[in-house]
Each structure stands twice: as C-alpha cells, then as structure tokens.
Amino acid sequence: MKTLIVHAHPEPRSFNGALTSLAVSTLEGLGYQVQVSDLYALGWSPVLDASAFAELPEDGFFDPAKAQEQAHKAGTTSHEVALEQNKVKEADLIIFQFPLWWFSMPAILKGWVDRVFSRGFAYAAGRKYDTGLMAGKRAMLSLTTGTASSLYSPNGIDGDLHHILWPIHNGILAYTGFTVLPPFTAWMPAVVTAEQREQYLQDYAKRLYQLNDIEPLYFHPRQDYDAHQQLKPGVLARSGVQWNPHADQTFEASASAFDAAMKGRA
C-alpha cells in the first residue's frame, strides 16, 4: 500500500508535524510505503497563473482549465507539478494534514490542489464523481482546530464540522473520484493539556491501524441524480449536507438522519 501525506503547516514542531511524524512511523510499521510532500519545506507556490505554461493562445488569453488540459496532453506540465502528480498517481491513499484556517485548508494547500488536481489529470469532461480520474484511490483529512469541538457541533457557533468540510470532501475529493474516509480531528491542541495531546496521538495511531476497516463517507451515486444533476424525486438525501424537497424531505430531517448514522459508527 502506497501512501502520500500532503503536509501543510509552516512550523515543523507543530502538532500537525507530530501527527505527520506519527503517521509515517505507524504506516511504515504496518508495511506501507510512505511519501511526504511538506509544502512549506518544498517552498511550494500556490499560485496558478500563466507563467507555468509553455503554450498559450495567440491572443494571450489565459484560461487555466484549458491550459492545464493542453499541457497534460502535450506533456508540458511544469516540473514541480508533474513531480506531485506522479506521487498522486503512485498513491493508493492520500492523507491531507493541515490546520483548519478560516474554515478551510491553508492557502498553500488549496494552491497545491489548484495546480496538481488539474483538468486532464484529476478530472475531465464527463469524468467526475463516480467516474472521476482518481477512482480507486482513498483520501482522508487529518486536521487540527484552534477551538473546541463544541463549537463545531450542529448547534455550535462555528457550525457542524461535516458541513464545513463539505467543499473539500465533496467538491475536491469525491468530485475527482476518491473514496473519502471520515476525517481525523485534533481539537485545539495548542490549548489542551500534554496528556490530551498524547491521547490525540494514540487516537490517531488507532485510526491508522484501522484504515482498511473504516466505512467511507457516503456520496450519492450518479444514478440517484436526474438529467439536471439533481436528486431524483423519491431519493432521500443521505450525505448530511443535501436534502431533497422533491422527496418531501427537509434539511432538518436529513441532518437528523445523518447525525444518527454517524453516532452509530462511533
């Protein structure tokens, strides 16, 4: 089993650093082959702009998706992006390790996604979700927060964490075809006791030992959608974020069913 850890924290001694180090040692101990892309150590540029492309239209108009697709077909993808894409190609599992900043991933990691998950490589016309080009691979988020878990509960001021992560889980990972595992979260490690941080590490090691037994997050298959890519009448939404008014389903009912399902996993 080959694993890529995409690590996005500027301080090597951070708790994110500790989680990545633990993942490397634990997974290698289980026989995994592990690579780490430490984005800050790499000096990764998150900016997707025209300077990275050898060929542009005569009028110089820069269409990022078209430029990526053309570069992929022509074999002119920039060296640093091609190196990361090769790591992704080889990996059976990708772990994204990052602190939750402004309710999302750090800019350097979003920029890695913008540049590496390019059109032609990670998705293409008619190749998304069930047919995404990353189908057969698994992905998992491992993250830290600056505040307590109670703030990320359904009635918390920050909102349910599953909803906050939906743009990443669905809009990046499921969209490109990954099987998405539930996230691992270490809540405000900079504030809790040393004992609690140690417990987080033990919990993460346990999660890594159980990777092959974890039920992935649920995303509706293509056959649940109509020609307009909306859930068909009668299909009850099960993702925890969607709901289907054409099935007389309310958001509250959908969220309640999802919460019950997640508690059943615990």
Task: Give 178-237 pLDDT, tens digit per residue.
Answer: 999 999 999 999 999 999 999 999 999 999 999 999 999 999 999 999 999 999 998 999
225 and 114 share a domain? no
Residue 255: predicted pLDDT: 66
Domain extent, residue 108, equals: 2-219
Domains in the chain: how many in total? 2
Predicted confidence band of residue 50 (pLDDT cuts 50, 70, 90): very high
96 and 83 share a domain? yes
209 and 238 share a domain? no
71 and 28 share a domain? yes
Choose the final residue of a domain: 188, 204, 219.
219
214 and 103 share a domain? yes
Residue 248: predicted pLDDT: 86
114 and 233 share a domain? no
The answer to which of 56-65, 69-78, 94-103, 132-141 has the lowest mean pLDDT is 56-65
CATH for 94: 3.40.50.360
178 and 248 share a domain? no
Choose the final residue of a domain: 183, 204, 219.
219
Residue type, 2: K
Residue 190: predicted pLDDT: 94
The answer to which of 26-35, 48-57, 168-177, 254-263 has the lowest mean pLDDT is 254-263
Residue 27: predicted pLDDT: 98
Residue 240: predicted pLDDT: 86
Residue 193: predicted pLDDT: 96
Residue 260: predicted pLDDT: 60
Put simply, whether the predicted model's pTM sits higher than 0.85 gets the answer: yes
Single out the residue of 28, 24, 7 nearest to residue 16, CA to CA.
Answer: 7
Task: Give 12-49 pLDDT, tens digit per residue.
Answer: 999 999 999 999 999 999 999 999 999 999 999 999 99
Choose the final residue of a domain: 196, 219, 242.
219
134 and 259 share a domain? no
pLDDT tops 80 at residue 256:
no
Q: Which residue has the higher pLDDT, 92 or 263?
A: 92
pLDDT tops 90 at residue 174:
yes
142 and 252 share a domain? no
173 and 49 share a domain? yes
Share of the chain above pLDDT 90, in %: 84
